[in-house]
Chains A and B, each alone.
Chain A
Amino acid sequence: MYYKMRLIDKVRVPPNRLGEDLTSVVLDELQMQLEGSIDKEIGIFIAVTEIKDIGEGDIIPSDGAVYFHVEFDAVVLRLAMQEIIEGEVVETTSFGAFISLGPIDAMLHVSQISDDFINYDEKNGRLVCQETRRQISVGDSIRARVVSLSLSERDPRESKIGLTMRQAGLGTGQWLEEDMEAEKADGAA
């Protein structure tokens, strides 16, 4: 889920930027430092939106920069285990599909796509269920549940997010529509 948060942090303002407008420099520095980074407790930083308050600056030994205590607003994406998320398929491989959640990609393993046996159609880049002939290809919208989370603070790209669709109410947009139609037909009959 996305959160808007009020945070307090220390921001390093390098000496060559001391003459500029402090608020915009602090915003710049925070955006450079935080956007795209991951904090395990806070989440994935999407954007620093507004500086709320700038407190006193400290000068520490052996660095000419000034460190300001800053209160600011940020938008973060914090994924939770078991959370239902929607995304789009960006790549299919023989071992599963990669789902873009927006700021980060997640992995949907073949074993977690369906109770069916899954074949990989290499020529068309599709994953096809053997029994139901349902398929997943690049561009499909996906509703899935987060089942494993391993975020790396050091290297955000190394983060791994595992998804599953082997539950009722989960699948690609098309599957869900088909399920809905089937249920409606069931109810009518």
Chain B
Amino acid sequence: MTTSYTRYERARIVGARSLQISMGAPLLVKTDRIDPLEIALEEYEKGVIPITVKRK
């Protein structure tokens, strides 16, 4: 699942998710990291980000 995204899609998903986290969205993983981008990457690795890509 995680590997099925292209690097561009990955960038978009992680970017959007880290922005959400930095704006106060609830976390989906337990972590002691502080940087929103790192948290987003961790969530992405675990495949728990509730974002999908619509391909046209």
Interface, chain A (partner B; CB < 8 A)? 14-16, 18-19, 59, 63-65
Contacts and interface: CB of A to CB of B under 8 A. Distances in A.
Instruction: State the main secondary structure of chain A at its contact with B.
Output: loop
B2 to A, nearest CB: 18
A16 B27 CA distance: 10
B29 interface: no
Contacts of B20: 15, 18, 64
A105 B24 CA distance: 40
A59 B16 contact: yes
Interface residues of B, number: 10
Interface string B27-55: 00000000000000000000000010000
A64 B22 contact: yes
Contact of A16 (B16, B19, B24): B24
Nearest to A18: B25
A14 B16 contact: no
B51 A19 contact: no
B30 to A, nearest CB: 15
A64 B16 CA distance: 6
B16 to A, nearest CB: 5
A18 B19 CA distance: 13
A16 B51 contact: no
A19 B27 CA distance: 9
A12 to B, nearest CB: 12
26 contacts: A14-B23, A14-B24, A15-B19, A15-B20, A15-B21, A15-B23, A15-B24, A15-B25, A16-B23, A16-B24, A16-B25, A18-B20, A18-B25, A18-B26, A19-B25, A19-B26, A59-B16, A59-B51, A63-B19, A64-B16, A64-B19, A64-B20, A64-B22, A64-B23, A64-B25, A65-B23
